[in-house]
Amino acid sequence: MHRRDFLRLAAAAPLLATPLYAAERHLLQLNGYPLNAETPLELLTDYLTPNDLFFVRSHWIPRMPDAKTWRLKIDGNVARPLSLSLAELKKLPRVETTCVLQCAGNGRALHSPVLPGVQWSYGAVGNARWAGVRVRDVLERAGINANAKHLHLFGSDDPPGKVPPFHRSIEMGKAMDDCILAYEMNGAPLPQSHGAPLRMVVPGWAGDHWMKWLVRISASDKPQTGFYMDTAYRWPLKPGEPGVSFKPEEMRPVTEIAVKSNITTAPKVARVGVPIDIRGFAFSGAPDIARVEITDDDGAHWKAATLDVRHSAHAWRLWSFRYTPKRAGIVKLAARATDSRNTAQPRTAIWNQSGYLYNAWQSVSIEVKA
């Protein structure tokens, strides 16, 4: 074993359990309990990721609310604090949105040297159709005050001892714009592992904002404080020297996810002159993917992939590309997405000590036979 490989393994050991390869269709379990599990990249081929294949990320042992006695409290800087049951919430206008949920840490394992944290590779991401009520409708019912600039989010999970609770807040502008409180996922009641009975859906923003098992939302003039706001989930204001840690004041909270494409489907072997199809998905925090391109010469030339007809501002876009190998040997195909703001996926991801928002070009190697 190379020294580097050994260090990689040694550093990752406390977090990595042996993946279970027993079932055909399965998640890859990354630690014990609470469950953190990602979807194998080659299974992320559907426009809507099936609920049972959707990655799970929970900081602490979940305490799932009892749907019968559960209520959502709405308080803080509002004229009329409310407490709503699920039946009462469901009387508000129902809205649907199809969008990507990606953990900020997706791709952390692809950084070198290895960074501490759950070792996600490609599969802490999925695309789902979420249904519920607008955050705006609920807050307007409660008579939200104009000076409330942040929405504090509280789930029912309860960490042990002095471990900091997973408390977060989100800017009110975003919450009032397009966020929903979801009780359904892909046409089914929201599964327990994904936050039943109610979770936040924050289109275009990283998963840490998508509070599960919601029990209270509270309007405030200040952001939430605590470990998960002040230390974790922060992103450099300006790019820095790889390997050098940023200070908290050189960072701001992670918000939008970064433009990215992944290759889900490609043959291992091809023949000279015989076309092959490769497929994948692309998404960004900016609304809509403008294009996906493929290179076979490490970025010197790019050709446009075909985008699938299905799309929605913050959903992912499936794509396919027909490629005819010209000569025998190993060919490396890499994909690059560009979003509606003309931001293109970079060759290397932006360095940050937590390994958030990894979005470097991904490639596949194919053996081309004569």
> Which residues would be at the binding site for ligand MTE (CB under 6 A)?
54-59, 101, 103, 155, 157, 166, 194-195, 207-208, 210-213
| CB nearer ligand MTE, residue 15 or residue 364 | 15
Q: Which candidate, 181, 165, 201, 229, places its Cα nearest to that of 71?
A: 181
195 binds Mo ion (CB under 5 A): no
Task: Tell me which amino acid residue 290 is.
Answer: A
- Closest approach of Cβ 191 to ligand MTE, in Å? 8
| Both tokens assigned to 274 | 């015989």
103 binds Mo ion (CB under 5 A): yes
Which residue bears the tokens 């969008």? 99
207 binds Mo ion (CB under 5 A): yes
Residue sitting closest to Mo ion (CB): 103
- Closest approach of Cβ 208 to Mo ion, in Å? 5
Q: Are 170 and 214 in contact (CB under 8 A)?
A: no
Q: Answer with the entry of ligand MTE, Mo ion, none that 101 interacts with (C-beta below 5 to 8 A by kind).
A: ligand MTE
- Closest approach of Cβ 250 to ligand MTE, in Å? 22
- Closest approach of Cβ 155 to Mo ion, in Å? 13
CB atoms within 10 A of CB 365: 10
- Closest approach of Cβ 214 to ligand MTE, in Å? 8
Please list, in sequence order, all residues whose beta carbon lies within 8 angstroms of the beta carbon of residue 36, skipping any fewer than 6 positions away.
Answer: 29, 30, 56, 57, 58, 118
| CB nearer ligand MTE, residue 155 or residue 197 | 155
Q: Answer with the entry of Mo ion, ligand MTE, none that 157 interacts with (C-beta below 5 to 8 A by kind).
A: ligand MTE
Which residues inside 41-70 make contact with Mo ion, applying CB under 5 A? 57
Query: What does DSSP say about strands 36-38 and 56-57: parallel, antiparallel, or unpaired?
Result: antiparallel
Residues in the chain: 370
CB atoms within 10 A of CB 163: 11
In the chain, which ranges are continuous DSSP H helix? 3-12, 86-90, 135-141, 172-178, 227-230
133 binds Mo ion (CB under 5 A): no
229 binds Mo ion (CB under 5 A): no
- Closest approach of Cβ 119 to Mo ion, in Å? 13
CA distances 305 to 270, 287, 312, 317, Å, are: 19, 19, 18, 11
Q: Are 219 and 172 in contact (CB under 8 A)?
A: yes
Residue 223 C-alpha from the chain's centroid? 22
**Cis geometry, peptide bond prior to residue 275 (ω within 30 degrees of 0):** no
355 binds Mo ion (CB under 5 A): no
| Both tokens assigned to 229 | 């706001």
| CB nearer ligand MTE, residue 44 or residue 103 | 103
Please list, in sequence order, all residues whose beta carbon lies within 8 angstroms of the beta carbon of residue 240, skipping any fewer than 6 positions away.
Answer: 246, 250, 351
Q: Answer with the entry of ligand MTE, Mo ion, none that 132 interacts with (C-beta below 5 to 8 A by kind).
A: none
Report the alpha-carbon distance of residue 283 to residue 313 in Å, rounded.
9
76 binds Mo ion (CB under 5 A): no
| CB nearer ligand MTE, residue 58 or residue 98 | 58
- Closest approach of Cβ 106 to ligand MTE, in Å? 8
118 binds Mo ion (CB under 5 A): no
Q: Answer with the entry of ligand MTE, Mo ion, none that 99 interacts with (C-beta below 5 to 8 A by kind).
A: none
Q: Answer with the entry of Mo ion, ligand MTE, none that 70 interacts with (C-beta below 5 to 8 A by kind).
A: none
125 binds Mo ion (CB under 5 A): no
**Cis geometry, peptide bond prior to residue 197 (ω within 30 degrees of 0):** yes
257 binds Mo ion (CB under 5 A): no
Q: List residues near Mo ion by CB under 5 A.
A: 57, 103, 207-208
